[in-house]
């Protein structure tokens, strides 16, 4: 497993970030097997959220034995300070810890949402309070959708966020406006030493039939062919500035992503594979979220 510095956060994180959305709807035994699989692979960066179902509760029992050797991040999806403050404290209780390494404003996807978070009485005030009172070491922001890079650039102008989770993948790099915005965001992160982490790198497309029963817990259809996963992971981890990528939100996909990280291919070879994936498209087209 490769490790990279997380900006100015003082931690070398695994390039695979355990996407604990995968634990939202599983029982504790399933969660335990997946968490152990991640630890055995060398993953030391775990990312969860108040809104990920039972995820924080599934991670909590592990904290007494692993808290001092992992980077732990969670998120609040609330938009006002009072609700976000309650959410942050509830997350700490569920995670069985008195401090997280990173508290993030969750799913800030458009400018109206950013305004709600950063206005007087917005959730950013609660995140800053959490940092000032020692409940979190740093404050970050996350988001998805085609506006995300521009929204996150503006977020960095308004506040000194120390970490981002933003979408970037081969297929998104083929969308000219989005790609230009992402590259500008990456340049901003480099200049400000912000930890830039990637999401949706192993997404194939939005589910063609969103209301049908699906074989994975992800809200989008993931890439699930081993060779294609290898290409997607190889491509993403070769991107300049990126600290790493979040694993997909289904425990069944973790093994293939871990294997892909350990056996990466060149960018040209990865692009050749990904260019041939049928129906590869942005997961944000008609997204259900």
Question: What tens digit of pLDDT does each residue of 53-64 get?
Answer: 999 999 999 999
* Residue 184 in domain: yes
Do 128 and 93 touch, CB atoms closer than 8 A?
A: no
At residue 287, the pLDDT reads: 86
Indicate the range of 25-34, 38-47, 163-172, 207-216 predicted with least confidence.
207-216
* Residue 287 in domain: no
* Residue 280 in domain: no
Tell me the residue range of the domain where 55 lies. 3-275
* Residue 283 in domain: no
pLDDT at 289 over 80: no
* Residue 52 annotated to the active site: yes
Which position among 52, 170, 182, 220 bears the catalytic label? 52
pLDDT tier at 286 (50, 70, 90 boundaries)? confident
Query: How many domains are contained in the chain?
Result: 1
At residue 38, the pLDDT reads: 99
**Over the chain, what is the mean pLDDT?**
97
* Residue 22 in domain: yes
213 CB-near residues (< 8 Å, 6+ apart): none
* Residue 160 in domain: yes
Compute the average pLDDT of residues 184-197. Answer: 98
Residues 239-259: pLDDT tens digits? 999 999 999 999 999 999 999
Share of the chain above pLDDT 70, in %: 100
Q: How far apart are CA 198 and CA 182, in angstroms?
A: 11
pLDDT tier at 217 (50, 70, 90 boundaries)? very high
Q: How far apart are CA 155 and CA 141, in angstroms?
A: 8
Q: How far apart are CA 33 and CA 107, in angstroms?
A: 28
CATH number at 181 reads 3.20.20.100
Residues 125-161: pLDDT tens digits? 999 999 999 999 999 999 999 999 999 999 999 999 9
At residue 288, the pLDDT reads: 83
Stated pTM of the model: 0.98
* Residue 237 in domain: yes
* Residue 206 in domain: yes
């Amino acid at each position: 497993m490769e490790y990279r510095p997380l900006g100015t956060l003082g931690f070398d994180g695994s390039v695979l970030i355990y996407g604990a959305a995968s634990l939202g709807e599983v029982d504790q035994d399933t969660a335990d097997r997946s968490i152990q699989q991640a630890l055995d692979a060398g993953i030391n960066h775990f990312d969860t959220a108040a809104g990920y179902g039972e995820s924080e509760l599934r991670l909590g029992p592990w904290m007494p034995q692993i808290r001092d050797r992992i980077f732990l991040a969670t998120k609040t999806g609330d938009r006002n300070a009072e609700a976000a403050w309650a959410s942050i404290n509830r997350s700490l209780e569920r995670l069985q810890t008195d401090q997280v390494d990173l508290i993030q404003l969750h799913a800030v996807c458009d400018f109206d949402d950013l305004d709600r978070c950063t206005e007087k009485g917005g959730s950013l005030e609660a995140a800053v309070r959490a940092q000032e009172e020692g409940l979190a070491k740093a404050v970050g922001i996350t988001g998805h959708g085609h506006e995300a890079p521009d929204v996150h650039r503006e977020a960095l102008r308004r506040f000194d966020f120390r970490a981002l989770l933003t979408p970037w993948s081969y297929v998104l790099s083929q969308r000219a406006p989005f790609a230009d915005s992402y590259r500008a965001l990456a340049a901003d992160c480099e200049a400000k030493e912000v930890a830039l982490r990637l999401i949706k790198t192993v997404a194939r497309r939005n589910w063609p039939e969103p209301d049908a029963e699906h074989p994975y817990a992800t809200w989008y259809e993931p890439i699930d062919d081993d060779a294609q996963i290898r290409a997607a992971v190889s491509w993403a981890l070769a991107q300049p500035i990126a600290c790493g990528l979040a694993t997909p939100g289904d425990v069944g996909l973790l093994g293939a992503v871990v294997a892909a990280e350990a056996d990466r291919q060149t960018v040209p070879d990865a692009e050749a594979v990904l260019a041939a994936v049928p129906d590869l498209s942005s997961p944000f087209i008609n997204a259900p979220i």
